[in-house]
Amino acid sequence: MSDRSASSPCVLVTGGAGYIGSHVLHALTDAGIPAVTIDNLSTGRRRAVPGAVPLIEGDIGDASLLERTIREHRVDAVMHFAGSIVVPESVSNPLAYYRNNTVNSLTLLDTCVRLGVGNVVFSSTAAVYGSPERVPIDEETPTVPINPYGASKLMTERMLRDAGAAHGVRSVILRYFNVAGADPEGRTGQATPVATHLIKVACQALLGRRPALSIFGTDYPTPDGTCIRDYIHVSDLADAHVLALLHLRRGGESLVLNCGYGGGASVHEVVEALERVSGERVPATLAPRRPGDPPQLVAVADRIRERLGWVPKHDRLDDIVRSALVWERSLDHPAP
Ligand SMILES: NC(=O)c1ccc[n+]([C@@H]2O[C@H](COP(=O)([O-])OP(=O)(O)OC[C@H]3O[C@@H](n4cnc5c(N)ncnc54)[C@H](O)[C@@H]3O)[C@@H](O)[C@H]2O)c1
Ligand SMILES: O=c1ccn([C@@H]2O[C@H](COP(=O)(O)OP(=O)(O)O[C@H]3O[C@H](CO)[C@H](O)[C@H](O)[C@H]3O)[C@@H](O)[C@H]2O)c(=O)[nH]1
C-alpha cells in the first residue's frame, strides 16, 4: 500500500475504464483525490484509466471482489458508473439490463451498507423522466421511464433512497442529459466504434468513417423540425462528480440533481456547429423518426449550481463538438 493510500481515504469508481468514468478518474487525479476502479472491460478500455489509478479487472456483481477492494483500499465513497447503456438493446434484452444495472447495483449497495461505506455518487439519466409533458424538466418532474434502460436506473435511485432512510447511506444522484465531447487535453474520449450518439456519429461521418449521418426525423414540433437536446460537455460533468463527492465527504445531505446546461440544441444546430468548427461538410441524409425519441429534452439545471457550486467551463456547443472531433481524429480505428 502506498503512503498516500495509507493516509487518505479512497473513492471506488465502478466502470472507470468507460467514457464518463475515465474522465472522472482524470478529474479526481487532477484534484489529488485517491481512487481505485473496478471494470470488467466489457465496453471500457484499459488505456483510458490514468496510470496512477489501480484498475481491478472484474465484475461489480462479484461481492467478494467488492469487499476485498473496499477493505484493501480504505474506500469511504463509491462513484457508480458501471452499467449497460444502449436504449434499443434494453428493449430487446431487458433482463440483461435489469441484471447489470439493477441487480449489480443492489450487490454494490448491499456491500457498501455491510462495510459502512456511506457515500455514493450515482450515474443516473434523463431517461428516468421518459417523455415528459413539460419542458424544461426539473427534478420534481414525475419519473415515468419509457424503456427498460430508464427503468433499470430508476430502480437503483429508489434503492439508494430507501437505503438512505434505513441505513444512513447518503447519495448524490446525477441525472445526466446528453453527454458529449472529450477531455480537452486529449487524454480520453468516447472510444466505442459502434456509437449511436449524435455528436460522435456526426464526427465519424465528417471524417469519412461512416457513409453519412442519418438525421432521424425533420417533422417534430420544434423550430427547425429536428429534436432538441441539452448537450453537456463530459469534462463539466466530471467536475460535477468531484463536487458531489466533496459534498458527501463534508457530511452533505442526499441530493438528486439534473446535469445539463438548461439550454437546447437541435440536430440541425449540432451539424451546423460541427461544420462551423471544422470548415467541412457533414454528409447527412434525412431519415424517418427513430422510435422512442421525445421531441425535446432540456434540463432545469439550477439546482446543481446552487447545491454544489458547479460552474461549467465548456458550455458552448462549438467547444463540445470541437473536442469530440479532435478526439475522433486521434482514434486509429475506423467506424463500422
Ligand atoms: N453516455 C451517456 O450519454 C449517458 C447518459 C446518461 C447516463 N449515463 C450513465 O453513465 C454511466 C457511464 O456511461 P458511459 O457512457 O461512460 O458508458 P461506457 O460503456 O463507456 O462505460 C461503462 C463502463 O462500465 C464497465 N462495466 C459495465 N458493466 C460492468 C460490470 N458488471 N462490472 C464492471 N464493469 C462494468 C464497462 O466496461 C465500461 O468501462 C452509465 O451508468 C450510464 O448509464 C450515460
Ligand atoms: O445518428 C443519429 C443519432 C441521433 N440522432 C438524433 O439526435 C438526438 C440525440 O440522440 P442521441 O442518440 O445522441 O441521444 P438520446 O437523446 O437518444 O439519449 C441520450 O440521452 C438520454 C437523456 O437525454 C439518455 O441519457 C440516453 O442514455 C442517452 O443515450 C435524437 O433526436 C436523435 O434522434 C440522429 O438524428 N442521428
Which superfamily does CATH assign the domain made up of 198-230+262-330 to? UDP-galactose 4-epimerase, domain 1 (3.90.25.10)
Task: Map out the domains of the chain as residue ranges.
Answer: 9-180+231-259, 198-230+262-330
Instruction: Compute the average pLDDT of residues 60-67.
Output: 98
How many whole angstroms separate alpha carbon 324 and alpha carbon 318? 10
pLDDT surpassing 60 at residue 335? no
pLDDT above 90 covers a percentage of the chain that reads 93
Write down the residue that cell numbers 430508476 correspond to: 154
Is 261 one of the annotated active-site residues of the chain?
no
pLDDT surpassing 90 at residue 16? yes
CA–chain centroid gap for 102, Å, is 16
pLDDT above 70 covers a percentage of the chain that reads 97
Q: Cis check for the bond before 34: say yes or no (omega within 30 of 0).
A: no
Number of continuous H segments (helices) and E segments (strands) in the chain: 12, 14
Q: Provide the grid cell at 113.
A: 451498507
pLDDT in tens, 123-156: 999 999 999 989 999 999 999 999 999 999 999 9
pLDDT in tens, 224-239: 999 999 999 999 999 9
pLDDT at residue 332, as a whole number: 76
Question: Cβ distance 138 to 35 under 8 Å?
Answer: no
Ligand 1 first shell, C-beta below 6 A: 15, 17-21, 38-44, 59-61, 81-83, 85, 100, 104, 123, 125, 176, 179
How many whole angstroms separate alpha carbon 34 and alpha carbon 249? 13
Catalytic one among 19, 149, 176, 261?
Answer: 149
Q: What is the residue-averaged pLDDT of the chain? A: 95
Count of residues in the chain: 336
Residue to substitute in 267, 274, 320 for testing ligand 2 pocket (most ligand atoms within 8 angstroms of CB): 267
How many whole angstroms separate alpha carbon 1 and alpha carbon 11? 15
Asked whether this chain's domains 9-180+231-259 and 198-230+262-330 adopt the same fold, the reply is: no
- Predicted model pTM: 0.97
- In CATH, the number for domain 9-180+231-259 is 3.40.50.720
How many whole angstroms separate alpha carbon 111 and alpha carbon 219? 48
Angle formed by the axes of helices 148-167 and 104-115, nearest 10°: 10
How many whole angstroms separate alpha carbon 175 and alpha carbon 166? 23
Ligand number nearest to the C-alpha of 49: 1
